[in-house]
Amino acid sequence: MAGDHVLTVDAVVKEYGSKRVVDRVSLDVKRGEIMGFLGPNGAGKTTTIRMIMGITAPDEGKIVFHLNGKPSSQIPKARVGYLPEERGLYREARVMEILVFLGGLKGLSAQEARKRAKQWLERMGLGAYANAKVNELSKGMAQKVQFIAAVMHDPDLVVLDEPYSGLDPVNQDVFKREIIALADRGCAVLLSSHQMNLVEETCHRLFLINKGKRVLYGPIREIKAEYGVHRVVMVVNDPKWRLPESRSVESVQRDGQRWTCLLRPGTEPVDFLRELPPQSPIEEISVARISLHDIFVRIAQGGEAA
């Protein structure tokens, strides 16, 4: 992954009336990187994305693109692709017509747009639907067409707002593969999603926003290392057994023979294991870091990152 920035968002603020929807958010996206942009509903993700896309303007702060060799606060629209959360297609139009139109808006000639649209449709398994009307497509097919419209002009930066929503697992995999391929080709990807497992599998770094403010920002591995505390799951075959008091444990849940212990931040699993009495009737034991999903849920519910 190259280190050069494609996009820099610097302390942007957006207010609607007296409500501050985005509060001094700063982030950057690098070439060849997939940046996860996460947050609960109403956290300010779409507002931030709309500011990045130049659809609305920030009240404060600046957004800088580094695409043509020099920084610019004007979005180079022809070099950026966008798949919005509120998306659709002209219902009465045909797939190829729409792709040629949208490709044209990105600066492609009609001939080039048609050629690329055809290649992408084949690649996404929609070759036979080039002349189909949009209202004849399934939701997944329509979503693929929307994705093609966002990337067919070979952009340097792609902003994908909830690309996986509404897709079945097979199509989620198709999208995941294509998004990774985009980054491999050097495209910077800003990806907003609620599918944490897919974010975890796809993104290099992530930015977590809540109530308009930054909560987490950095490489996924580091975030998980820093905030992803360990969870110990034990199967105990003695119903009378009790877990001894421990400073290492933040919370305990018991479900029959199954005990789930969430360790305090900074606690190594081995320290917790040492605290267990030697004669404990433990049949099974497993140790793992909590998932990104758990980190997200804890933050969305108003807790700290860890």
Question: Residue 133 or residue 213: which is nearer to another protein going by CB?
Answer: 133
143 binds another protein, rule: CB under 8 A: no
Q: Which amino acid is at 10?
A: D
Structure tokens at 60: 């404060």
Q: Return the residues of window 46-65 that contact another protein according to CB under 8 A.
A: 50, 53-56
The size of the interface with another protein (CB under 8 A), counted in residues, is 29
What do you get for the CA distance between the two ends of the chain, in Å?
A: 28
Question: Residue 101 or residue 217: which is nearer to another protein going by CB?
Answer: 101
90 binds another protein, rule: CB under 8 A: yes
18 binds another protein, rule: CB under 8 A: no
Span interacting with another protein, options 122-130, 144-152, 168-176, 240-248, rule CB under 8 A: 144-152
Query: Helix (H, G, I), strand (E, B), or coil: what is residue 57?
Result: coil
Nearest CA-CA partner of 118 in 137, 96, 135: 96
Length in residues, the chain: 306
**Looking at residue 204, what DSSP letter applies?**
S
Question: Are the C-beta atoms of residues 276 and 193 closer than 8 Å to each other?
Answer: no
7 binds another protein, rule: CB under 8 A: no
86 binds another protein, rule: CB under 8 A: yes
| Nearest-angstrom CA–CA distance, 160 and 206 | 14
Q: Return the residues of window 94-123 that contact another protein according to CB under 8 A.
A: 97, 101-102, 104-106
Structure tokens at 248: 């290492």
Contact with another protein (CB under 8 A) among 92, 245, 255, 304: 92
21 binds another protein, rule: CB under 8 A: no
